[in-house]
Amino acid sequence: EVADRMSRGVFPLVSGIAIFLLSFGLILTFSRGVIIFFVFTTVLFFAGIFLLKKLKQYRKQALRLLLLVVSCQLLVVALAWPEVSSRFLESSASEPAIQERLFFNKVGADIVSQNYLQLFFGVGIGNFVHHYMQSFPGLATHLYQPVHNIFILIASEIGIFGLIAFTLFLASQLKKSIQQFFSSSYSYDRENKIMIFTLFCALCFVLCVSLYDHYFWTLQQGSLMFWISVGLLATVTSSYNKRS
């Protein structure tokens, strides 16, 4: 009994420290797109728990978690306010970071439309920057980067057919998860519902960030995060089908 009480007291403390450190790390990235998409998916997650009847048994836990997350975020913002304010309040659409992203997207679309071979088959996985340097020589070195949108990047590297296949695959996984979430409930599948919903929100976050950056396609760590998110969602949905 004493050990049980200690574990109940230690777990919230450990959770609070972990969420604070993750919040601090998120703010220190100073990536406006990632932070905005994180806020969006966080709102989606908690709104779903408070509004969907299938998740009503988790509302008390969600309220405590929401208060913890908001408190940690506000504390981190207060501690790093000078940097946060200069990064978010003094930004504009004309600054280089945004204009360069738009330029990379345009380059990706131009490479896809250069000829029919590239339109249908692309320039090869991992070859975008090399082809970009050959097609647009003489630019500043820092401008030779992958497209900061993985859908345009995929189209430029493996063609329009590859992009269609990739998009249909993701759409099918999201559709299956939504169908299973709203299917009839049984007494044993409450944990499956919250797992499906949580992984769905996580994948939505990854896909939103993928519209803004490229590291879920070009970096090993990013690719692992992306495919693990997809794999976990597919696994939970598949196991739910077998149990039903």
For residue range 42-53, list pLDDT tens digits in order.
999 999 999 988
Phi-psi category of residue 59: left, alpha or beta, with phi > 0 → left and psi -120 to 50 → alpha: alpha
pLDDT at 119: 86
- Residue 242 pLDDT exceeds 60: no
Share of the chain above pLDDT 90, in %: 27
For residue range 7-38, list pLDDT tens digits in order.
454 566 777 778 778 777 777 777 788 888 88
Average of per-residue pLDDT across 112-120: 85
Chain mean pLDDT for the chain: 83
- Residue 167 pLDDT exceeds 70: yes
Most confident listed range (30-34, 79-83, 140-144, 186-190): 140-144
pLDDT at 66: 87
pLDDT at 207: 93
The whole-angstrom separation of Cα 116 and Cα 122 is 9
Which pair of structure tokens corresponds to residue 43?
């709102």
pLDDT at 204: 92
- Residue 95 pLDDT exceeds 60: yes
| Nearest alpha carbon to residue 193 among 119, 244, 135 | 244
pLDDT at 60: 87
Residues whose CB is less than 8 angstroms from the CB of residue 41 and which lie 6 or more positions away in sequence, other chains included: 201, 202, 204, 205, 208
The whole-angstrom separation of Cα 205 and Cα 37 is 6
pLDDT at 1: 45
Taking the alpha carbons of 103, 104, 107, 112 in that order, is the dihedral positive or negative?
A: negative
- Predicted TM-score (pTM) of the model is 0.83
Which residue in this structure is represented by tokens 């304010």? Answer: 85
Q: pLDDT class for 232, splitting at 50, 70, 90?
A: very high
Which pair of structure tokens corresponds to residue 65?
């978690």
38 with 205: CB under 8 angstroms? yes
Q: pLDDT class for 6, splitting at 50, 70, 90?
A: very low
